Structure 1
Amino acid sequence: MSLGYALRRIVEEYPLARLDPPAGHPLASIIRRGAPGELRTALVPIDGPFLVKGSPGRGSKWAAIPWIAVFDPAITTSATRGYYLVYLFPAHREAVHLSLAQGTVAAIREHGPAACAHLRASGAALRARLADFAAALPNATITLGSVGELPEGYEAAHILGQTYDLRALGDERRLHRDLATAVAAYRALKARGGLDPPRSRGGA
């Protein structure tokens, strides 16, 4: 199995898999272990450390939007807070988004109904901070095709990234190249202040 093949299986099989319970389902295993394993292999040439996790949902429910994430443990070890890289699988089209994203659940807890507006405003400021990556990671917005607090939060939390259709997932070299670029953007954001707002010129 390769990274592209693992991602493609999730894209193609997830809609039908959701008709069955996730417990013991082979696709749930691919999301939790198979695809993260391929992603860890793709990250080997890039100096770490990285924590990689995949989630098909919790308990007896599939997630509306499954994900495979890469965390820098010095920033966060959870998709709920901080910022991280994540592959998100839209519900409405055969594609996958690679996203540099902000933690959604923490924003919802802190800002309540205003969380999406806060995340979009923050994302715009962070994109400006990473303007040198805009050409290589051109997607300023993503759509996930699912209504709900978390899917809509994921959309709002996006900073920049790439989208792949099924054909693009066959280009393993491109996937690895884009992953390396996304990791570079992740590290650049860390070096440039992370989620902290920029200091004013007259600030200490």
Structure 2
Amino acid sequence: MSLGHALRRIVEEYPLAKTDPPAGHPLAHVIRKGAADELRAALAPLGGTFLVKGSPGRGTRWAAVPWLAAFDPAVTTSATRGYYLVYLFPTHREAVHLSLAQGTVAAIREHGPRAGAHLRASGATLRARLSDFSEELPVAEIALGTAGELPEGYEAAHIMGLTYTLADLADERRLWRDLANGVAAYRALKARGGLAVAEEPINRRPRSL
């Protein structure tokens, strides 16, 4: 298996898999183990320590939107808070989003019905702080194709990233290169103050001439 193959399996097989219970389902194992292992392999050359998790859902219920994420343990170990890098799988099209994202559940708990507006405003500020990554990670908004507090929260929590079609997932070199750019943006956000609001962007990386 490769990272692209694992992502493609999730995209193609998830709609049918959801008609069966998740317990013991082969695709649930792919999301939790196979795809997570491939993401770890792609992260290994980039150095540092990442906690990798894949979630097909919890208990007896499939997730509305499955995800595969990499967490810097110094920032967060959970998709509920902080910020992290994640692959999200929309329900309305055969695609995958690579997203530098903010924790959703913590924002919902703190801001209630205003969480979406808060996350979008915060995302715009953080995107401006990371404007030197806008060419590599140009997608500023994502759609997941399903209603609900969490899916809509994931959409609002997106900072910047990329969207892949099924054909794009065949290019493993591109996936690894894009992942490296995502990790660089993740590390830059950490160096530039994380989710804290700053007056001016700081510590911008030099651009190649």
Regarding TM over 0.5, the answer is yes
Matching of residue 26 in structure 1 with residue 16 in structure 2: no
CA distance in 1, matches of 2:36, 2:48: 15
Amino acid at match of 1:135: E
> Which residue of structure 1 aligns with residue 77 of structure 2?
77
RMSD: 0.7
Query: Shift in Å at residue 3 of structure 1?
Result: 0.1
> Which residue of structure 2 aligns with residue 181 of structure 1?
181
Question: What SS does the corresponding residue of 2:79 show, helix, strand or coil?
Answer: coil
Give 5+ residue unaligned stretches, structure 1: none
**Structure 1: which 4+ aligned runs deviate by more than 4 Å?**
none
Q: Deviations over 1:34-91 (max 9, x none)?
A: 0000000001100110000000000000000000000000000000000000000000
> Which residue of structure 2 aligns with residue 107 of structure 1?
107
Question: Aligned ranges for residues 106-145 of structure 1 at < 5 Å?
Answer: 106-145=106-145
TM-score, scaled to structure 1: 0.97
Query: Shift in Å at residue 199 of structure 1?
Result: 4.0
TM-score, scaled to structure 2: 0.95
> Which residue of structure 2 aligns with residue 171 of structure 1?
171
Amino acid at match of 1:117: A
Amino acid at match of 2:83: Y
> Which residue of structure 2 aligns with residue 162 of structure 1?
162
Q: Deviations over 1:91-139 (max 9, x none)?
A: 0000000000000000000000000000000000000000000011000
> Which residue of structure 1 aligns with residue 204 of structure 2?
none
> Which residue of structure 2 aligns with residue 97 of structure 1?
97
> Which residue of structure 2 aligns with residue 4 of structure 1?
4
Matching of residue 190 in structure 1 with residue 190 in structure 2: yes
Question: Aligned ranges for residues 60-75 of structure 1 at < 5 Å?
Answer: 60-75=60-75
> Which residue of structure 1 aligns with residue 48 of structure 2?
48
Give 5+ residue unaligned stretches, structure 2: 201-209
